[in-house]
Amino acid sequence: MEQEDINFSDFIASSIHDMKNSLSIQIGFLETLMDECQNKVEAATLGQLGHTIYEASRMNVNLIQILSLYKLGKSIYPVDIAEQSVRDVLEEIVLQNESIMAYKGIAVSVECAENCYWYFDRDLVTGVLVNALNNAYNYTTDKIRVVAQTREGMLEIRVEDNGRGYPESLLLENIAENKGISFATGSTGLGFYFSSKVAGMHRNAGKQGQLRIENGGVYGGGCFVLTLP
């Protein structure tokens, strides 16, 4: 009997999908537990539980990014670029992360005109902005600002924090091509790589989406900037 060949990348993708589903169930359980623990346990304990939920959510986002990159590489991702209410997208993302931010005492504000509409893949751009919020969560002191506006025919979405900002070494790197792993920081570069790929997929009238990081903004900290044509 001949043994059927197994595509290793397909096997890994299937395994990651199962892990993602299991992790989503665990996150839901932890969030329910946190709600039940309100006013029953010490604030420090709630804070630790909140951070555990954040780490689990961050891992879940990483798994989704890997699956998305796999599907994009196989040309089987159903890219759906359609008109979106930018403000609705930003508020939805902030709302999804509201409880986690609250337990760390982080205030998140959204600035975007009500009549701001743009064409992009909602799920992919949501993944980029969730990744940006995760970074800001790690490095902010207590404030995050999400702002969107049109500039020179492009939509610019900024996620700014009031932390110490990005290190000079990272600002000098080409984050679009950085796939390196840092054993010192634990960074895999996955988030930036995924975000750059998503930005580059958005093209219109000879222009292409871009991702950049910088320091400054309203708070003087790190700024994650996504521009879409």
What is the per-residue pLDDT across 124-165, written as a single tens digit (0 to 9) for each?
Answer: 999 999 999 988 998 899 999 999 999 989 999 999 999 999
Q: Please give the model's pTM, rounded to 2 decimal places.
A: 0.82
What is the rounded distance in angstroms from the CA atom of residue 176 to the CA atom of residue 170?
12
Q: Supply the pLDDT for residue 7.
A: 74
Q: How many whole angstroms separate alpha carbon 74 and alpha carbon 77?
A: 8
How far is residue 219's CA from residue 108's CA, in Å, rounded to a whole number? 12
Distance CA 186, CA 183 (A): 5
| pLDDT at position 109 over 50 | yes
User: Is residue 3 over pLDDT 50?
Assistant: no
Please, are residues 103 and 50 in contact by the beta-carbon 8 Å criterion? yes
CA 56 to chain centroid, in Å, comes to 14
Task: Judge contact between 156 and 225, C-beta under 8 A.
Answer: yes
Quick check: 8 pLDDT over 80? no
